[in-house]
Amino acid sequence: MKSMIALILAFLFLGANYPSYFVNGTVYDTEGNTLQGVTVSSKDGSSKSATDVNGFYTIEIASGSDVLVFSTPGFKTREVKVGNRRIVDVTLRREIPKPEAAEEELSEDVSEKKLFKSQSRFRALPASGAASYDMSMGAPVELYPNFNTEDYATIHDNEFRRVLDIPLSTFSIDVDAASYSNVRRFLNMGQLPPKDAVRIEEMINYFTYGYEKPTGDDPFSINTEITKTPWNEDHMIVQIGLQGRKIPTANLPASNLVFLIDVSGSMQAPNKLPLLKSSLKMLTNELRSEDKVSIVVYAGAAGLVLPPTKGNNKKDIIDALNKLSAGGSTAGGAGIKLAYKVAKEQFIDGGNNRIIIATDGDFNVGESSNAAMERLIEEKRKEGIFLTVLGYGMGNHKDSKMEILADKGNGNYAYIDNIREAKKVLVNEFGGTLFTIAKDVKIQVEFNPVHVQAYRLIGYENRKLNAEDFNDDKKDAGELGSGHTVTALYEIIPTGVTSEFVKTIDPLKYQANRDPDLSNEDELLTVKFRYKEPDGEKSKLIAKSLEYVENEMSENLAWSAAVAGFGMLLRNSEFKGDLDYNKVLTLAKRGTGQDKQGYRKEFIELVDIASRMDQSN
Q: Report pLDDT for 326.
A: 85
| Other residues' Cβ atoms within 10 Å of the Cβ of residue 408 | 20
**d(Cα 175, Cα 411) in Å, to the nearest integer?**
9
Closest to 555 in 3D by CA, of 585, 594, 590, 595: 590
Closest to 558 in 3D by CA, of 178, 222, 243, 209: 209
* Non-local CB neighbours of 372 within 8 Å, separated by 6+ positions: 333
* Contact predicate 565/591, CB 8 Å: no
For domain 20-114, give its CATH number from 3.90.1300.10, 2.60.40.1120, 3.40.50.700, 3.30.300.30. 2.60.40.1120
**d(Cα 239, Cα 490) in Å, to the nearest integer?**
7
* Non-local CB neighbours of 259 within 8 Å, separated by 6+ positions: 280, 293, 294, 295, 296, 306, 356, 358
Q: How far is CA 269 from CA 131, 187, 389, in A?
A: 9, 20, 19
**d(Cα 28, Cα 565) in Å, to the nearest integer?**
32
Q: pTM for this one?
A: 0.77
* Contact predicate 258/520, CB 8 Å: no
Q: Report pLDDT for 206.
A: 97
**d(Cα 567, Cα 585) in Å, to the nearest integer?**
13
Whether domain 161-247+438-506+520-557 has CATH 3.40.50.300: the reply is no
Torsion of CA 275, 277, 283, 287, to 10 degrees: -170
**d(Cα 456, Cα 161) in Å, to the nearest integer?**
6
* Contact predicate 198/179, CB 8 Å: yes
3-state secondary structure of 505: coil
**d(Cα 394, Cα 569) in Å, to the nearest integer?**
23
Q: Where in the chain is the domain with CATH 3.40.50.410?
A: 253-428
* Contact predicate 413/296, CB 8 Å: no
**d(Cα 540, Cα 607) in Å, to the nearest integer?**
40
Low-confidence ranges of the chain (pLDDT < 70): 1-20, 53, 96-148, 329-331, 363-370, 513-519, 617
Q: What per-residue string of b and e applies to 93-111 under the rule 16 or more CB within 10 Å gives b?
A: eeeeeeeeeeeeeeeeeee
* Contact predicate 78/68, CB 8 Å: no
**d(Cα 586, Cα 584) in Å, to the nearest integer?**
5
Q: What per-residue string of b and e applies to 220-253 under the rule 16 or more CB within 10 Å gives b?
A: bbbbbbbbebbbbeebbbbbbbbbbbbbeeeebb
End-to-end CA distance of the chain, in Å? 80
> Which residues are paired to 455 by β-bridges?
161, 492
**d(Cα 57, Cα 53) in Å, to the nearest integer?**
10
For domain 253-428, give its CATH number from 3.30.360.10, 3.40.50.2300, 3.40.50.10480, 3.40.50.410. 3.40.50.410
Q: Which amino acid belongs to residue 5?
A: I
Q: How far is CA 99 from CA 106, 107, 614, in A?
A: 13, 15, 43
**What string of DSSP letters covers 136-172?**
GGTB---SSSS----B-----PPPPEETTT--EEEEE
Closest to 160 in 3D by CA, of 462, 458, 592: 458
- Could you give the count of Cα atoms lying within 13 Å of 585 in the half-sphere of its Cβ? 11
Residue 398 DSSP code: B
Cβ neighbourhood burial of 371 (10 Å; 0-12, 13-18, 19+): exposed
Q: Where in the chain is the domain with CATH 2.60.40.1120?
A: 20-114
Would strands 452-458 and 478-481 be described as parallel, antiparallel, or unpaired?
unpaired
Q: Where in the chain is the domain with CATH 2.60.40.1230?
A: 161-247+438-506+520-557
Q: Report pLDDT for 51.
A: 84
3-state secondary structure of 386: strand
* Non-local CB neighbours of 345 within 8 Å, separated by 6+ positions: none
Q: Report pLDDT for 484.
A: 93
Query: 599-613 and 178-188 helices cross at what angle (nearest 10)?
Result: 50
> Which residues are paired to 23 by β-bridges?
59
Q: Report pLDDT for 2.
A: 47
